[in-house]
């Protein structure tokens, strides 16, 4: 019986597969750039908790609802001349509770049933980027992060306008045991 692939062909294919560059997902960017005085991107990761979900689960302590949460790596680039000294954010996502999900829901429509406010005291100089990790308790997923207010070093403030949200949807890919 004749084999269609020789050992040398398999060796070449294996070498090509291992030499190929890894595929990394790019962080999602802001949904309405014209409405934002900052450029945003976000990537999400869990807080590393373990939840027992069935009767055949290992013996682990009962889950504490206050330990469920999400972390978002938020990158913010200041596109104005003044240094940003603080930001007020709203993190929208799903709460740690049971829910019904429509079977005909639009796949691109993010689901959010709760919101948490976050205050960032951070210095972002003009035309520079800073990354911060935002941890939000009691959320099992994050749909988007909205910038509500930015405070500048000169005392001025920027506020989001109704109908022109400055928000970013995190990259939907969440790596397991990866940074």
Tens place of pLDDT per residue across the chain (179 aa): 555 556 555 455 444 444 433 333 444 555 566 778 999 999 887 665 555 566 665 555 555 555 567 888 999 999 988 999 999 999 998 887 777 766 666 655 667 888 899 999 988 999 999 999 988 888 888 888 999 999 999 999 999 988 888 889 888 777 665 55
Secondary-structure percent of the chain, ordered helix, strand, coil, rounded to 5: 10, 40, 45
* Cα 126 to Cα 150: distance, rounded to the nearest angstrom: 13
Token pair recorded at residue 127: 């035309």
Global pTM exceeds 0.75:
no
Match 């084999």 to its residue by tokens: 3
Closest CA to 161 of 172, 173, 151, 147: 147
Please give the angle made by the CA atoms of 89, 157 and 126, to the nearest 5 degrees.
85
pLDDT at residue 99, rounded to an integer = 72
Residue 136 is predicted with a pLDDT of 86
Phi-psi region of 53 (alpha: psi -120 to 50; beta: other; left: phi over 0): alpha
Domains of the chain in sequence order: 27-98+105-168 (2.60.40)
Within 10 angstroms of residue 52's Cβ, the number of other Cβ atoms is 13
- Would you say 43 and 105 are in contact if contact means Cβ atoms under 8 Å apart? no
Quote the tokens at residue 18.
């291992």
Return the structure tokens found at 100. 């019904």
Exposed (0-12), middle (13-18) or buried (19+): which is 51, by Cβ within 10 Å?
middle
pLDDT at 164: 80
């Amino acid at each position: 019986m004749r084999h269609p692939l020789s050992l040398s062909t398999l060796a070449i294919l294996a070498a090509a597969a291992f030499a190929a560059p890894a595929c990394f997902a790019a962080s999602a960017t802001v949904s309405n750039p014209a409405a934002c005085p900052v450029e945003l991107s976000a990537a999400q990761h869990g807080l590393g908790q373990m939840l027992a979900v069935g009767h055949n689960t290992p013996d682990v302590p009962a889950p504490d609802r206050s330990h469920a949460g999400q972390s978002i790596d938020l990158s913010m680039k200041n596109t104005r001349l003044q240094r940003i000294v603080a930001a007020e954010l709203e993190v929208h996502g799903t709460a740690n509770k049971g829910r019904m999900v429509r079977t005909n829901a639009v796949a691109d429509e993010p689901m959010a049933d709760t919101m948490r406010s976050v205050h960032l005291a951070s210095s972002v100089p003009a035309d520079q980027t800073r990354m911060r990790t935002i941890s939000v308790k009691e959320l099992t997923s994050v749909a988007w992060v909205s910038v509500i207010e930015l405070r500048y070093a000169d005392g001025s403030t920027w506020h989001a306008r109704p109908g022109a949200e400055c928000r970013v949807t995190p990259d939907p890919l969440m790596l397991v045991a990866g940074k």
